[in-house]
Structures are given as C-alpha cells and as structure tokens.
Amino acid sequence: MSLRLGDIAPNFKAKTSIGEIDFYEYLGSSWGILFSHPADFTPVCTTELGKTAALKDEFAKRNVKVLALSVDTLESHKSWIPDINETQHVAVDFPIIADDDRKVSSLFDFIHPNASATATVRSLVVIGPDKAVKLIITYPASTGRNFLEVLRVVDSLQLTANYSVATPVDWKEGEDVIVVPSISTEDAIKKFPKGVKVVKPYLRYTPQPNK
C-alpha cells in the first residue's frame, strides 16, 4: 500500500526488540517516527540506529516516540543491538520491529522492488498525534540519513501545526518564520505582535511566535 502525506498511518501489531507492541497503543498521544533500514549487522544502519539512540533526549523533548524496522528476525535484532551499543557508545532502548513476514513493510511501502527485492529501503515516516502522516523521506541503502535534519523537520512540523506560519529554507529553531499566504498582511500584524517584515506582499517574515 502506498502511503501519502495526510493519510492516516495504519495500525499494526508487531514483534519488537522490547516485546510485542500495538503501534497505536505504543504511540499513545505522542508524535511517532517509524523508520526502516535495509539489514542488521550492516555498517550504515549501525551508525543510524546508534545516532537515534544518542538523540534519545532530543526526541523525548519533542514528545516523539521512535521505532526502527527491518525484515530481519527478532533473534537477529537482539544479537545486533550489543554491537550498536558498543561501537556507537549508546544504549539502544527504542523498539526495533522484526518484520520478517514483511507485514509492516508492505503497509508502509518500505520495500521498493527496483532498489532491492528483499530488503527495506531507508524510509522514515513522521506521524502526528492524530495518527496522520506528516513527513515521508526515502533514501537508498548506500546513503545514511541525517537525524539532526529529522529533528529540524519535527521542529517545523510541530510549530506549523500550531501557528499560521511556514518555515523557510534551512530554517532552524529560533529563526524567523514565514507568514502563510492565506493570511492578509493586515491580519498578520494583529496575529503576530512581535512584528511582520514585508519583503514582498507574498513574502512576509515574523519572529518565531512560540519563543
């Protein structure tokens, strides 16, 4: 099944490195990140899962629960985790889904047959508290993702979910944001008391409203 932005992420039950989970129950009212990696005991994946563990406090600060997935078995995940911990100097404690029957991969379209018939690609889906899909990124096996970029996007998603703003190119937390086109400049001036800088009628900046 192909999943698109705005779709409701499907629920599932799965075996994971921390036990059986029901996806929706596990997420509760948190944001969620579900990401696939091609295979256990591979170098790039080892660094990606290590970085995810290292950013545990950053995800927690943003109320995000993280889950990884590959089509390897539970036994494989369990014997790989000590290697990640040892080589990346972390303690992996987020669930890694053992999707050896490809049930979840197929729900989330994590196998791209023209890239690999058997392994999952590097896909990552951000899910909001409403269970709707907010972001989908897909990288090939040969390119590790940038998890600081994932945090940056989460910051943007959480900000823009609550304020009538969008974030410009390369935006980072604390920088000025863009007033969405649907708001008139007159209304923007009332809505954003920190000020509105009009560069063009369609390009208007305001300081980040929740800072």
49 phi/psi in degrees, rounded to 5: -70, -30
Is 45 tagged catalytic? yes
Check binding of 117 to ligand BEZ (CB under 6 A): no
Minimum distance, C-beta of residue 38 to ligand BEZ, in the bound complex (Å) = 4
Footprint of ligand BEZ on residues 131-150 (CB under 6 A)? Answer: 141-142
Check binding of 115 to ligand BEZ (CB under 6 A): no
Minimum distance, C-beta of residue 146 to ligand BEZ, in the bound complex (Å) = 15
Instruction: Dump the DSSP string for 50-119.
Output: HHHHHTHHHHHHTTEEEEEEESS-HHHHHHHHHHHHHHHT----S-EEE-TT-HHHHHHT---TTT-SSS
Catalytic residue among 9, 45, 49, 66: 45
CB 105 within 8 A of CB 111: yes
Considering only 3, 21, 44, 54, the residue that binds ligand BEZ (CB under 6 A) is 44
Residues in the chain: 211
Check binding of 38 to ligand BEZ (CB under 6 A): yes
- Contact footprint for ligand BEZ (CB under 6 A): 38-39, 42-45, 141-142
Residues acting as catalytic residues: 45
